[in-house]
Structure 1
Amino acid sequence: MKNILKYIFLPAVGFLASCSYEFPVNEIIEPTSGEANFASTIVIGDGIAAGFMDGALYDRGQSNSFAVQMTNQMKSLGGGNFNLPLINSVNGFYAIGPGNSILGRLILKTVNGVTSPAPIGPGDLPGPFSGNKAELNNFSIPGLTLGLALIPQTGGPNVPQNPAFNPYYARFASNPGVSTPIGDAATALGTNGTFFTFWLGSSDVLGYAVGGASNPAILTPNDAFAQRFTLALGAMLQANPDAKGAVANIPDLNVLPYFNLVPWNALPLDGPTAAAVNQGFAQYNGGLLQLQAMGAITEAERILRTINFTAGQNGYLMSDENLTDLTQFGLPSIRQSNSSDRSTLTLAQALGQPVGGNPQVVRGVSFPVEDQFVLTSTEQAEIQDKINAFNGVIASAVQANPQRLVLVDIKGLLNRVREGSVNSGGVSLTASIVPPNGGFSVDGVHPNGRAHGFIANEFIDAINSKWGANIPLVNPNAIPGNDLPIQ
């Protein structure tokens, strides 16, 4: 079997050697906060607002989040300190490795001329927050859905009977197992806050998407989303009737590199291997012809389900629950991937590998790729419909509070990034993980530090326009993006 990864990522020689940029010098304008008050900004959100990058929460990511960059710009208008629940870890926690070792954040590594994401090495489990919880400004938590934001179980206890437990909240919860993320943020806003940002909702659909739409139980129903969003945002509005806020929406699925890095035809086979595999599917293909003749399936579905590998790049064998159920005839719901499918980034490590250590059972060749590794066109449409519905709820909530809220269109921003129309000082931001222009961190889902600069500016532009402020813009080119690959 050929190396799958070399068909997924760029070779190391394709990366630029420098990550420095120029930023234009703008006309100096006297700062003013307009109709808003930025003395103390409270932030509530999920992983993006927390500074989660490269598959981990770590020091550099936290310090370069859009919330930090934005509030730094607000200091010229009387903004105060912006206190974070600092993780105090250079590498953070990505996964448990061999021998129960703790693996840190993802980086780009080049091995034998092939560059792909890999853990940097040792990392750290999230430990307790040692600072003053009463002085926190950022209550954002990786993986925080609206449902988890509203229940005390998110803070503990950490027992098998509590699937809601989130270690990133438990470490700084005001009263673990009793307090809630929204409750803590609202208390901070009501105590000494003057402005807030609210960016929740992405995790209500993202977890389902990155898992290949394989677990419907974690996809928030539309009515539940609307109810929870109203409760959560309402808690912030009620906490301080004088505070204004910026509310962000949910990006589209197709902008995320996580779903674009592994091509649908990522399976390389030589001629003899392809012929041998095809022989193994001859009976299956013959059965499809018989079922078409019987009227059990259409010709179009028979063609879709027919397995035919060739020398070169191939679509991989995959399961598809949307196919006609032919199990009564002894035929599984399988086909080869095509250009309408989106592979998840996790497939890069699984495709072409023996299943259960059996070299005759190869994932994507003789064993179908499981649901969690791929999104069919039907699943993609389902997820996009969900994003559209959730964004409708978000927009309506902002429109219902026109004096106090402004909508920050992050969906629109990232779609412009995908189209190649976003830049600073003539240097573009791309919807990729490739440095120096790539705007997504190495996990392919969360923006990197430089992209957070553009996100901060999107917030700033919306706030300035809404309330007549002139918060200075961030220089995104001064913020690090992804590091260059290491050997």
Structure 2
Amino acid sequence: MKKLQHISLGVAVLALAACTKTQFDEFELNSGSADFSNYVSVGNSLTQGFQDNGVHNERGQQDNSFPAILSQQMQLVNPSAKFKQPTVSGNGSGYIHLEWINEEIELVDVPAAGSWGATGDASWDVNTKYNNLGVSGIRLTDCVPTNGDLLSPTINQFITSNNPMGGFLDWGSLFSPVSYLDHIKASSATFFTCWLGNNDVLGWATSGGDDGAITIPLIGSINLSEMTAVDVFSYKYDSVLTAFDRMGAKGVCATIPDVTSIPFFTTVTLDRVGDDVWIEEGPYSSTPGNVRLATKDDLLTLYASQDLGDGIGFTQANPIPHEDVLDRDEVVVSQTRTKELNGEIKAMAAKHGFPVADMYEYMKELESGITLDGVDYDAKYIEGGAFSLDGIHPNNRGYALVANKFIEVINQAYGSNIPPVIVANYSGIYFPN
């Protein structure tokens, strides 16, 4: 993955004022109609605890995934509840952090831990029954075989087994594949959170509208980051909820945030660049391959900051490649697909009687700014206080915000009274001394 060292950080120094902790009235804790004894979380990087461009735990980052935070609060109302997640050791998969270099703060890559390899962390055990089933990079379409497609189980097995982030699960073999849905069915969950679907848009968008085509020997070409068709998404989401429904589990589903509103797309602006920028339009544009001047309707990704730092994008002959920009046509495509998939999430949740945490609307609230315990949060890069350095995933405080949103919906839907966490008690971005 590209480095982000050329991002200007001068405007992003966050000053945190002292704040008063939230005071909670005393009340009797109870689970309501929910059973939290075996809480299982399914999802992607947002569920696994990914932040700063990796899964790392040298300062307890992955320990503060939103499911881990949520499970700790569940244990207050059900002390017998257990939750086990496959955490990484130290640097984990590697990540990015801030360092002082030549009297400036810059983003620097931190290498993976020695325990990290092609199948993830050496401490992971495929025979262990984990509660957090979040796998960074996984799409919903990778989780469930496509109905009527005989090659689909094999393709999904190839994709999931070659993703080190999912190395804690047994994916079987090409000839005897085990799907993510199979792991859900074997989870015996009494309660679940389902935040699948983000990567069915996000992977395409963060790749600048590129489908990520690769060729698999004996199988052919597949697209690793292609957006999932609405009808396919609907069928597969229904399959996941049917699995939980049949085991008698209760739970909460979550919608997909508008990916174009995250700092990854809103930080490198034409105003900040202060110059004309030439871009190449992508294959989903009305004029694929066309080179033109960027407008405010085009979204330069954080990766474009490296291009600009290398002198790319300032002439028509040397434009920013389409993979590093979501052009105006692609912005509309991604926003439209997000709304369509969210419609299916809500419809399938209603079909099975599960409540929905509307993360799409919550992200809109965060964009406008929210204040908790005297601390302001918004969706700005670094200074907003909720996102990690990759501009896509939350930091610990951001994951605490997410956990509280799930808690709010759980309490409303199931009559429980899980106490929310104090977000300011969690760490944000670490600045160098």
TM range (shorter): 0.7 to 0.9
Q: Which residue, 167, 175, 184 being the options, matches 1:170?
A: 167
The structural deviation recorded for 1:228 is: 1.4
Does the CA contact (< 8 Å) of 2:126 and 2:167 recur in 1? no
Does the CA contact (< 8 Å) of 2:121 and 2:167 recur in 1? no
The structural deviation recorded for 1:265 is: 4.9
Partner of 2:191: 195
The structural deviation recorded for 1:210 is: 0.2
Q: How many residues align?
A: 399
Q: Distance in 2 between matches of 1:13 and 1:407?
A: 34
Q: Which residue, 276, 288, 295 being the options, matches 1:315?
A: 276
Does the CA contact (< 8 Å) of 1:418 and 1:431 recur in 2? yes
* TM-score normalised by length of structure 2: 0.85
Percent identical among aligned pairs is: 25
Q: Distance in 2 between matches of 1:479 and 1:154?
A: 40
Q: Which residue, 33, 36, 39 being the options, matches 1:35?
A: 33
The structural deviation recorded for 1:409 is: 1.0
The structural deviation recorded for 1:121 is: 4.4
Q: Partner amino acid for 2:255? A: N
Give the SS at the match of 2:134.
coil
Does the CA contact (< 8 Å) of 1:10 and 1:115 recur in 2? yes
The structural deviation recorded for 1:174 is: 6.8
Does the CA contact (< 8 Å) of 1:22 and 1:477 recur in 2? no
The structural deviation recorded for 1:197 is: 0.9
Q: Which segments of 5 or more consecutive residues in structure 1 lack a partner in the other structure? A: 94-103, 268-312, 326-331, 355-361
Q: Distance in 2 between matches of 1:204 and 1:212?
A: 14
The structural deviation recorded for 1:153 is: 5.1
Does the CA contact (< 8 Å) of 2:157 and 2:178 recur in 1? no
Partner of 2:228: 220
Partner of 2:20: 22
- Higher Cα radius of gyration: 1
Does the CA contact (< 8 Å) of 1:156 and 1:166 recur in 2? no
Q: Partner amino acid for 2:9? A: L
The structural deviation recorded for 1:194 is: 1.3
Partner of 1:401: 352
Change (3 A) 1:200 1:122: closer
The RMSD of aligned alpha carbons is 2.6
Does the CA contact (< 8 Å) of 2:17 and 2:375 recur in 1? no
Q: Partner amino acid for 1:351? A: L
Partner of 1:280: none
Question: 1:75 aligned to 2:24?
Answer: no
Does the CA contact (< 8 Å) of 1:156 and 1:176 recur in 2? yes
Partner of 1:347: 304
Partner of 1:364: 314
Partner of 2:108: 118
Q: Distance in 2 between matches of 1:379 and 1:412?
A: 21
Give the SS at the match of 1:213.
coil
Q: Which residue, 327, 332, 341 being the options, matches 1:376?
A: 327
Question: 1:433 aligned to 2:369?
Answer: no
* TM-score normalised by length of structure 1: 0.76
Q: Partner amino acid for 2:107? A: P
Change (3 A) 1:208 1:148: same
Question: 1:474 aligned to 2:412?
Answer: no
Does the CA contact (< 8 Å) of 2:278 and 2:294 recur in 1? yes
Q: Distance in 2 between matches of 1:246 and 1:163?
A: 24
Q: Partner amino acid for 2:121? A: G
Q: Which segments of 5 or more consecutive residues in structure 2 lack a partner in the other structure? A: 146-152, 213-222
Q: Distance in 2 between matches of 1:464 and 1:85?
A: 27
Match runs of 1:201-280 below 5 Å = 201-215=197-211, 217=223, 218-238=226-246, 240-241=247-248, 243-265=249-271, 267=273
More helix by share: 1
Q: Partner amino acid for 1:413? A: Y
Partner of 1:417: 366
Does the CA contact (< 8 Å) of 1:129 and 1:172 recur in 2? no
Q: Distance in 1 between matches of 2:41 and 2:411?
A: 18
Does the CA contact (< 8 Å) of 1:36 and 1:469 recur in 2? yes
Does the CA contact (< 8 Å) of 1:265 and 1:338 recur in 2? no
Give the SS at the match of 1:450.
helix
Does the CA contact (< 8 Å) of 1:9 and 1:114 recur in 2? no
